[in-house]
Amino acid sequence: MSWWRRMTMTQARGAGREPVAGTGAMAAAAVREGRTLNAFTWLDPAWMPPSVGQGPLAGFGCAVKANICGAGWPNDCASAVLSHYRSPYGSTAVARLQAAGGLCLGLANMDEFGMGSSCEYSTYGPVQNPWREGFTAGGSSGGSAAAVAAGLAWFALGSDTGGSVRLPAHCCGIVGLKPTYGRVSRYGLIAFASSLDVIGILARSVDDAALVLSVLAGPDPRDATSLDAAFAVPDPGLPVRGLTLGVPRDLTDGLAEPAVREDFERTLAVARDLGLKVVDAPLPAAADAVQTYLVLAAAEAASNLARYDGSLYGGTTEPGAGSVGGTAFEQQVTATRTAGLGPEVKRRILLGTHVLAAGYRQRFYDRAQAHRKVLTARMQEVLGVVDALILPTAAEGAFRLGSRLDDPVAMYRTDQFTVPASLAGLPALTLPTGLDARGLPLSVQLVGPRLGEDLLIRLGRALEEALDFRSRKEAPWHRLP
């Protein structure tokens, strides 16, 4: 196994390894292995600049999800409707990475416009799980997670709307960090659901995720939702003994598979051995979180995706010979969207349009907004009593590709443990903990108070060291030298 696959960024720097050498090997491997793993939609031939900066990420190469813009990049969001689009500007996140010396290797595959939990709704085809072919890498940031787990990038950027960073981290056995809503600028992130979208980080260790967050976090005058909240990596010597973890058993009990429950209880036992207090923290309002999320996210998606009508974005598709009714422009819109958008995107646009329609808004959208406020208030109340919540990231390990394409409801339930933090705008950290009987990764999720990323990093470090997952287990992506 190559040295860059064994090491995290912090380990490589401490061992005096030259990160550019590892990045070069990763870039070559991404070209060689790209078609089989299908983690990238585009590889930048000019990833290596004439000179590498001296910032905290100097020489480390990353994958960037295909909905996070870079100037001149083909940011198509894995959708046919943007197949000819080249971004005229770059995102704040990418600009900050590059200013810190980070190298962007290419764009990572994803569910179309971020809508999905398995990375199968992509015009490029599904991403393979580096632990076992034929299984999902999680969605919608599956390409980002697979690239990191397979050793094709030191770290990756993803976007998290309802769990799209944390679920791929869970499926691929790596760390996934969703920051507090607004802590990382969304400027240059192609919108899905604007009140939920967050740029997140996928990495091989908690310290790597913290290092990247320290570069990304902070205010941005081009994003009105960004917070004046920079992030500094907490001192590794800070203790965690005496901190309290709350377990929302009313949400998890009876829903998780036996292997997940056993792994979760083992992790709680490790937490207690570290001196952490573990108490029950009921969250009854989270029982309907998936339904609330689907209504609100679909409503915002219907509004945000209205721009893809063929007039400015989405190319131009001429109406077919059988087109009937409406103006010429309406026929063009219908033809463009029919040809350019996939089934899941169409499903969510239809749902969002329905819940916002006259006569239905109060029944669905307004009730979902009210429930979101109740859930947010309850989570903030609980996090005033405990320091952080802990629960599984998902009810099972990675599932087989194709097994849920005919059952959208089952696909939506995959996010049942991740959407509460998204609805409340709270930070969350997914941490690998073990393997199930099939040899596929399992994980836990830590949810902290608003702007509580430093606390999550401290807790994550302690659990990561005690669980010792990384030194014993690697994604067996056997094609890499």
pLDDT digits (tens, 9 = 90+) for 111-163: 999 999 999 999 999 999 999 999 999 999 999 999 999 999 999 999 999 99
Domain presence at residue 337: no
346 labelled catalytic? no
In the prediction, which pLDDT does 6 show?
A: 76
117 labelled catalytic? no
Percentage of the chain surpassing pLDDT 90?
83
Domain presence at residue 370: no
Whether the CB-CB separation of 354 and 302 falls below 8 Å is answered with no
pLDDT digits (tens, 9 = 90+) for 152-165: 999 999 999 999 99
Going from the C-alpha of 316 to that of each of 9, 73, 298, 322, 405, the distances in angstroms are 44, 20, 25, 17, 29
pLDDT, greater one: 314 or 310: 310
Whether the CB-CB separation of 245 and 455 falls below 8 Å is answered with no
Domain presence at residue 315: no
Domain presence at residue 263: no
pLDDT digits (tens, 9 = 90+) for 234-256: 999 899 999 999 999 988 887 88
Torsions phi, psi of 252, nearest 5? -95, -35
Domain presence at residue 128: yes
Q: Cis link prior to 140 (omega < 30° from 0)?
A: yes
With a threshold of 0.85, does the pTM exceed it? yes
Q: Does residue 339 surpass a pLDDT of 70?
A: yes
CATH for 205:
3.90.1300.10
- What lies within 8 Å, CB to CB, of 242 at 6+ separation is 275, 276, 277
pLDDT digits (tens, 9 = 90+) for 55-82: 999 999 999 999 999 999 999 999 999 9
Torsion-angle region of 451 (φ positive above 0: left; ψ -120 to 50: alpha; else: beta): left
Choosing from 65, 117, 122, 141, the catalytic residue is 65
Please state, rounded to an integer, the average pLDDT across all residues of the chain. 93
**Least trusted range by pLDDT, from 44-48, 89-93, 171-175:** 44-48
Domain presence at residue 173: yes
Q: DSSP 3-state assignment of 101? A: coil
Choosing from 140, 159, 205, 422, the catalytic residue is 140
In the prediction, which pLDDT does 322 show?
A: 47
How confident is the model over 26-36, as a mean pLDDT?
89
373 labelled catalytic? no
CA distance 8 to 64: 18
> Per-residue confidence at 325, pLDDT binned at 50, 70, 90?
low
Give the residue numbers spanning the domain of 152. Answer: 3-243+428-472
pLDDT digits (tens, 9 = 90+) for 407-441: 999 999 999 999 999 999 999 999 999 999 999 99
Domain presence at residue 359: no
Domain presence at residue 404: no
| Number of domains into which the chain is organized | 1
Choosing from 164, 185, 214, 443, the catalytic residue is 164
